[in-house]
Structure 1
């Protein structure tokens, strides 16, 4: 289903959970896996000096240094590489988000796997930017789905059984649904469709009465059935729920209640051109807080095909 997977890693322990999922996905689907690391940001002019992204020090990124970094990656992932021969290792110099997007396009990958915020970043109050500019920029511009793993995953990709599809009924959510539908059928799992009625968006006092809230909930239930359930055909292993509240809070709670192995969401709520669509704060919040991997989908370009499942 996923012929080519790109795993972008810093090589640090924070990426271990993402590495597990990336390697297990490649093994499950017989995918071609590329292990990719951006080692530094180039300096000015024709100099080979770069600022190492891990140490912050200035280094000479000659061929010997690049090979040394690649060898370090081979050592870090030695066990996984032994179990999965044929993994490509690529090292580049440049702005990390740009290089990830560049190699993803060049290799025409079907999935990008990224590591999310570290455990230390997850503590305390959330503030915008904790997810990181690189993750935000990759998720915004990628032509293929982007899988973010922030915490140890209870199961690997091939073992996923409970998939939560969270929708805001935007155009982008249709692409996310097609992804979720194809994957859940491929793994013979259960699909849990979910929408949260965001009460903070209602300005009218009438809309915030209990009758008004109930009317919105009923309308959303009808939309879930009409726009998504009718596309499932003979597939019956699904549920649909509509809650009210703050979307990211309710999505995380719902996923935890359903013991979800994967959350699938659209890139952003608004119906605007994908190139102009900012990284949604709801998606950011879910990535930071979810106890399972999160897939963001913002385009229909590289969705898996049901025929390949």
Structure 2
């Protein structure tokens, strides 16, 4: 039976349900069968369990599930590239475990974003640590119409990326290079405004849409990260950050497209609307989660223990 927006949850695939061997090679064989791309669009997210995937076999599985892995260039989350596991594989995030990461579609603030994300649980948490996922169509439909209208013109994202010392990510980490010319060449194709400040900070400002239509289904979805860039989305840390830097020096900020401030209550409403419909994906070592990054938003629950979830992206 097909998922409907009101009852959506990821489809779980196991060796028993797929008829594949309970091995990484069995999963690769299943992934290479015709129809996986169509199934992902239909179901929006797939949980793959019981195939015995390890860090040593992850690379060949990812090759089958993600045809072209992308580098996390212009990514705003703190991550580390995990080269020994495979090409363009990263830690999913390095925010402290006690924090919840709000729902979002990966890199929806950027001029390009990945079409698929593949999460892999290398080490399960002791407690908590689920990855909540939400149907982005249902998220959009759950937002107050007046707030949706306020976002109709899009979101202006502003970043102040330091040169090696400061709050937030550096421009070197963000663009995976020490070469300013490489950064400038990348930004030249994005439609963003940018400049180097005298203190070595790279300032970037860009307007992106608040919603998006899926390239295959045409479904309109909520697709932005205004709440993660807005100070109101920082929760208890907001007041402390505002004491340290002025508003125009924030590592990242969000406003409406014309520069009008977004009210804090709009940010809270958007976050709460998504969480009301989120479904938690709990982790066991070896589990994978494949999502359509346009149709599904994701986040992270707080956790204890030595959780290690890796992520790779593709177009």
Higher helix proportion: 1
Which of 1 and 2 has greater Rg? 1
Taking structure 1 as the reference length, the TM-score comes to 0.29
Q: TM-score, normalised by structure 2?
A: 0.29
